[in-house]
Amino acid sequence: MSDGLFLTLEGIDGAGKSSHLDAMEALFKARGRTVVRTREPGGTPLAEILRGLILEQPMDPLTESLLVFAARRDHVVRVIEPALARGDVVLCDRFTDATFAYQGAGRDFDTQVLSTLEQWVQGGRGAAGLLQPHVTLWFDLAPEIAAQRLAGARLPDKFESQPVEFFRRVAAGYAARAVADAPRFVRIDASQTRDQVWQQVETALVARGALAPESGAAR
């Protein structure tokens, strides 16, 4: 897809991944790149409506997964693919890895069904095959620490209010995805200070070829 760059940030709630999006966006813009910053579920008017349902309404895992992938399809078609075709940098707060972690591992839902939905929504692109991020930054943090960070931050959605054991399963789901697709994943130790985490992020972007080595830090 031209010279477009697709980067995703993943991790359990409270891992702190979203707090680094501003710095990442500034870093790429300083290098002269056009940046499209987005999120999942969400990223389009329709997908944002579905996000509200997914985060707030009780539903069974299959319904939840279908809504997640419906939102993703609209997001891919209307935002992600056009941006990559233009040669933009797409910074996305979560993508399909989150579905395998939250719905697959967290909800104990059939990953074969998720894989089929993934093929339907992100496949069929000729030689390009399955649409996946070029680099995924996985902010890895112990669920107990994440829960402490989230405590009292705001009114939790239905996922944030889950018990620690749920997030242990989600974290294990992320770890399994990282092992299965090691060339794409970079583990970020999210237990460190904000500056130390940012240094890991910038180092990873240079190491994976997303940034030239001479890029300076953005804060």
* Banded pLDDT at 219 (limits 50, 70, 90): very low
Nearest to 133 by CA among 183, 167, 87, 169: 183
With a cut of 50, say whether residue 215 has pLDDT above it.
no
d(CA 12, CA 171) in angstroms, rounded, equals 7
Q: Which residue has the higher pLDDT, 30 or 124?
A: 30
216 is in an annotated binding site: no
With a cut of 60, say whether residue 217 has pLDDT above it.
no
124 is in an annotated binding site: no
18 is in an annotated binding site: yes
With a cut of 70, say whether residue 79 has pLDDT above it.
yes
With a cut of 90, say whether residue 65 has pLDDT above it.
yes
104 is in an annotated binding site: no
> What structural domains and CATH numbers belong to the chain?
5-208 (3.40.50.300)
Q: In terms of DSSP bridges, do strands 185-189 and 5-10 run parallel, antiparallel, or are they unpaired?
A: unpaired
Residue type, 193: T
Over the stretch 163-197, which tens digit does the pLDDT of each residue have? Answer: 899 999 999 999 999 999 999 999 999 999 999 99
- Lookup: tokens for 141: 């943090």
Q: How many CA atoms lie within 13 A of 83 on its CB side?
A: 22
- pLDDT value of residue 1: 43
13 is in an annotated binding site: yes
4 is in an annotated binding site: no
With a cut of 70, say whether residue 109 has pLDDT above it.
yes
* Banded pLDDT at 154 (limits 50, 70, 90): low
Classify each residue of 128-163 as buried b or exposed e, where b means 16 or more C-beta atoms within 10 Å of its C-beta.
eeebbbbbbbbbbbbbeebbeebeeeeeeeebbebe
d(CA 129, CA 200) in angstroms, rounded, equals 30
* Banded pLDDT at 128 (limits 50, 70, 90): low
- pLDDT value of residue 125: 65
Q: Phi first, then psi: what are they for 188, rounded to 5°? A: -110, 125
Stretch 134-145: mean pLDDT: 96
Identify the DSSP state of 5: E
- pLDDT value of residue 112: 97
Give me the helices (H) in 78-131, please.
Answer: 81-86, 96-99, 111-122
Cis status, amide bond into 41, omega within 30 of 0: yes
93 is in an annotated binding site: no
161 is in an annotated binding site: no
* 3-state SS assignment for residue 14: coil
